[in-house]
Amino acid sequence: MGLRLGDTAPDFTAETSEGKITFHEWLGTSWGVLFSHPADYTPVCTTELGMTAKLKDEFDKRNVKVLALSVDDVESHQGWIKDINETQGTHVNFPIIADPKREVSTMYDMIHPNADNSLTVRSLFIIDPDKKIKLIITYPASTGRNFHEILRVIDSLQLTANYSVATPANWQHGEDVVIAPAITDEEIPAKFPKGYKKIKPYLRTTPQPNL
């Protein structure tokens, strides 16, 4: 059985492009994004890692550490990083796990034999400071990820972790949010002093509370 939301993210020690790390220790009190790539020197992966590097300030201000994985070795990673920096106009500023024995890939169920029996699919895990898995997205190797959507999801996860709200369809940072059904109308003024709109008894919205 694969990993599920709410599970503790498995810990591991691995060599990376920035030296050996132990995952939980490396994360510390940060949120984490762990994402896999089918192989080094592949076109879509090159654009993805370049985009991730360009968004470093966005990840930093959300207290998020980013960690990539490919089944190739560290030497291959170092050569590939030079290509990424050159072609994407950036500087790779996060570690890439070397996983030639597929140990981490297997631990995180990143290899899907019906897609490819040796290379990882584009798996992505968002992990909170308690090391719990908060989100899992899996893309096929042919489809690059939307990293602005990943930032949007992180905003939602961090907001809903601290307030009794949920985020509606297509929500963007700064927009109104949905009050959790467990909160009664009588409790709303104390919890949400900015006011609220009651559309239906089960559908109540309020301005984003942490702004």
Catalytic positions are: 45
**What tokens were used for 95?**
């570690």
C-alpha to C-alpha distance for 209 and 126, rounded to whole angstroms: 23
Contact in structure between 60 and 160 (CB atoms under 8 Å): no
- In one-letter notation, the amino acid at residue 102 is R
Contact in structure between 183 and 169 (CB atoms under 8 Å): no
C-alpha to C-alpha distance for 206 and 13, rounded to whole angstroms: 44
C-alpha to C-alpha distance for 132 and 9, rounded to whole angstroms: 6
Q: Which of 169, 172, 180, 139 is nearest to 154 (CA)?
A: 172
Render the burial of 1-18: b for 16+ CB within 10 Å, e for the rest: eebeeeeebeeeebbbbb
